[in-house]
């Protein structure tokens, strides 16, 4: 599938009708989503025929993109039932077979590194401090091949240090810097739209022996 | 929820030593056909907890999987076996019902195929 076609399909997806500020619900735009998945697949072969999990899937944009690029099985996980309803509808509209699970990522119970790839656009931690690192911690416990994630550029050095030292990453690379357009979604937003500098990261987890892992946030 | 997902999900309630596998309570199972991918099945097989899959598929009404995991060589040659593995892993959906923590018995409801694994404050 061509990048433009992917971007176009993702652009038709329904987004949050009543975004919840405390969950930092912002749609992952089709521009970023298509490029994230396209890179993951074409540069690293991390998507097609693989099991892919979309952490904090929201309305399911990243998961849908993974399915469209040939992921064998996609699992979308989110804490919010309204988002999951929208995500289910989006999957149905695109005739995609995606499993959804309602869960708080920080307390996710998972058997081990059975998923191949995790893709995510996690909350940045502006409402709940440290939640971006919670997501990364859990993702690196669940994925066996790679974790793709978006984090504010301002946190780049901190993430690079922490990922390798504390979170079980054998490598942590910024693939590119993007501008995340945050639309005027919430009452406290003064501007019509604001661009935030965001890094697209690729982390490779260190492999551990398989056992049931209790995923309590470490950070 | 497919059994592939069930094969990875576990209960993470405070105090529970081993929350896998979750027991399944069936109210409604839906079968949805999906194209078979032999290589994918061969690659995922070593990662699957066979007993959990085979027990779960039986509860969902499918009795074709052996209780004992097959030798890996079976996956190379036996296409019929791969079909059964495929069917159990990817084509059976728990649409309505519940998942139960194997230790505490706590029920996680499944509605419209989506399990609700949200924990209460005292379970975290």
By Cβ distance, the residue of B2, B20, B47 closest to A99 is B2
Residue A67: in which H helix or E strand, if any? helix A61-68
Within-domain flag for B122: no
Rounded CA-CA distance A159/A172 in Å is 8
- Classify residue B56: in a domain, yes or no: yes
Q: Look at residue A113 and tell me whether its pLDDT is greater than 90.
A: yes
Q: Any bridge partners for residue B94, and if so which?
A: B29
The predicted-structure confidence for B4-52, as pLDDT tens digits, reads as follows 999 999 999 999 999 999 999 999 999 999 999 999 999 999 999 999 9
Report the number of distinct structural domains present in chain B.
1
Strand partners, B26: B97
* Residue ranges making up the domain that contains B44: 3-116
Distance in Å, alpha carbon of B59 to nearest chain A alpha carbon: 19
User: Could you give the ipTM of this predicted complex?
Assistant: 0.96
Residues B16 and B114: their CA atoms lie apart, in Å, by: 23
CA-based nearest distance A72→chain B, Å: 8
- Pairs across A and B, CB distance < 8 A: 79
Mean pLDDT of the B100-124 span: 96
Interface check for B112 against chain A (CB to CB < 8 A): the answer is yes
State which residue of chain A sits closest to B34, comparing Cα positions: A97
Note the pLDDT tens digit of each residue in A163-199.
Answer: 999 998 999 999 999 887 776 666 677 776 778 899 9
Q: What tokens does A89 get? A: 């509808």
pTM of the prediction?
0.93
For residue B102, tell me if it sits in a domain: yes
pLDDT, residue A185, reads 65
Determine which of A85, A89, A109 to mutate to test the interface with B (most B C-beta atoms within 10 Å).
A109
Please judge whether B2 and A73 are an interchain contact, meaning their C-beta atoms are less than 8 angstroms apart: yes
DSSP A184: S
Residues of A in contact with B90 (CB under 8 A): 73
For residue B81, the domain's CATH number is 2.20.25.10
Helix H segments across B7-112? 38-44, 50-59, 72-77, 79-86
Closest chain B CA to residue A217: B124
Q: Is residue B123 part of a domain?
A: no
What gap in Å lies between CA B114 and CA A101, rounded to an integer? 5
Does residue B34 sit within a domain? yes
Find residue B92's DSSP bridge partners: B31
């Amino acid at each position: 599938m061509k990048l433009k076609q992917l971007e176009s399909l993702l652009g038709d997806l329904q987004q949050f009708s009543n975004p919840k500020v405390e969950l930092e619900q912002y749609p992952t735009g089709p521009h970023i989503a298509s490029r994230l998945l396209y890179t993951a697949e074409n540069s690293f072969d991390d998507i097609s025929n693989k099991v892919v999990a979309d952490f904090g899937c929201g309305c399911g944009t990243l998961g849908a993109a993974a399915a469209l690029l040939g992921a064998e099985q996609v699992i979308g996980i989110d804490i919010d039932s309204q988002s999951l309803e929208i995500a289910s509808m989006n999957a149905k509209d695109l005739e995609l077979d995606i499993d959804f699970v309602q869960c708080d990522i920080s307390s996710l119970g998972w058997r081990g590194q059975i998923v191949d790839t995790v893709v995510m656009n996690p909350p940045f931690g502006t409402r709940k401090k440290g939640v971006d690192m919670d997501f990364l911690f859990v993702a690196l416990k669940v994925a066996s091949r790679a974790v793709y994630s978006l984090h504010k550029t301002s946190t780049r050095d901190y993430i690079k240090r922490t990922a390798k030292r504390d979170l079980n990453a054998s490598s942590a690379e910024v693939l590119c810097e993007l501008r995340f357009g945050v639309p005027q979604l919430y009452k406290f937003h003064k501007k019509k739209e604001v661009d935030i500098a965001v890094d697209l990261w690729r982390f490779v987890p260190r492999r551990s022996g398989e056992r049931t892992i209790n995923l309590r946030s470490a950070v | 929820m497919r059994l592939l997902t069930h094969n990875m999900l576990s209960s993470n309630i405070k105090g529970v030593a081993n929350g896998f596998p979750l027991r399944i309570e069936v109210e409604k199972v839906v079968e949805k056909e999906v194209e078979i991918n032999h290589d994918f099945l061969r690659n995922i097989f070593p990662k699957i907890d066979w007993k959990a899959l085979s027990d779960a598929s039986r509860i969902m009404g499918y009795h074709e999987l052996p209780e004992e995991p097959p030798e890996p060589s079976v996956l190379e040659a036996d296409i019929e076996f791969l079909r059964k593995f495929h069917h159990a892993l990817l084509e059976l959906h728990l649409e309505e019902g519940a998942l139960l923590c194997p230790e505490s018995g706590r029920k996680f409801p499944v509605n419209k195929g989506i399990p609700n694994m949200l924990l209460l404050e005292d379970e975290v």
